[in-house]
Structure 1
Amino acid sequence: MVDMDERMPAVALVTGAAGNLGRAVSAILAARGTAVIALDRVAAPLEAMLAGLPEPGRHVALPGLDLGETADCDRAAAEAIARFGRLDGVVHTVGGFDAAPIEAGDAALFERMFRLNLLTTANLFRAAIAVMRPRGRGSLVATGAMAALRAPAGLAAYSASKAGVLRLVEAYAEELKPTGLRVNALLPGTLDTPQNRAAMPGADTSGWVAPSQIAEAAAFLLSDAASGITGALLPVTARG
């Protein structure tokens, strides 16, 4: 992603950057010349991920932030301005998953899912929008879920929290149309990761989606090629 107005490398903030999806997003953006501000809770895997990117000295690691806290999100956005003088894009991959039947779906489960999925998105996007709005351009990408469109049994809290992410994206996209900022969401199918394969032994993985496929979609939504797209809820499900 390159800002064609200023001919300078773009700057993107990627959350969960040491995870399967965050690593894939960071790798694709870095390969295309973007400076990555990488967020994750633990420093060591984050630093290791950045060391493997092209031009590792260009990128910045921000470990230890809690995106459920507004101050930490403000710090991340402020770091982009302090280091680069700009923030062009955000890809938010952080979230949580939990399954429970009705009788086990207590208030604590709903609060945890809404904090991890919806509150982190709202906090991060609010902070990023504040620093992106003055430039009159930029793109924010949230991670939704296909379960937000039609919830399977046992995923009430998770699906409700992800449905909230989609409504947030739609509302922010409408509100920001006059500003030049765009807001979209990806709706991944089942991710093909070592963790999911271990959790679902014997499952048919032929229809699972690779993190790199989702990362390509995120990079597209950040790019000028998607300049006319905002408020979209984009399924990325491979053959699932």
Structure 2
Amino acid sequence: MLTPEEWSVLALSVSVAGRAVLVGLPIALAVGWTMARTRFPGRTLVDAVLHSSLFLPPVVVGLVLILLFGADAPLGKALASVGIRLIFTANGAALAAGVMAFPLMLRACRQAIESVDARLDDVAASLGAGFWDRMFSVTLPLAAPGLIAAAVIGFAAALGEFGAVITFAANIPGETQTLALAIYAALQQPGGEAVALRLAGISFTVAIAALLLSEALLAYGRKRAGA
């Protein structure tokens, strides 16, 4: 059985990772569709920038978020004027985790869209189907397995994110302390290895559960498609 503190950390971690995917996946899908279906000048540069958080140190990503959304930053002040504060909050932790997971979701979404034959979209258009009709009746159903994979990959990455989260949102128990940060905090305490190992086991279990859920959803989708 988990202790109340562990339940709190687990719930916060799932909430942060879930919000990161909920906001990031639609953006990754839109950008992935654009990169897969269109050609424009500077496309390679844009693609490199979109994937920059993969090769930048997470601490640098957290620093950039502070410069953009900190209390004294222009965007931070604009959001504060309407009652929204990101730095040192759970929403800020979700933002940091989402930024780090975004390239992984983007790549999976792009590959999912590219796996759908563009000629099917052209055929639907020739029969009078509009853009959104084609998107929801042709492209998204066929790309669904890849999109589910994108969501699972993004969730797992956000769940385990450390550097960007601790830099932008800090390690505040009950507010921003996710599983990764709680493991780090436990290791800073004398004899905290057992607690850290227990928390690592919880993190592993949640990631495996997410993977099994995605497999179940994929199997259900294939069954419906066959029917």
Superposition TM-score, scaled by structure 1 size: 0.27
| Structure with the larger helix share | 2
Structure with higher Rg: it is 2
TM-score (norm 2): 0.28
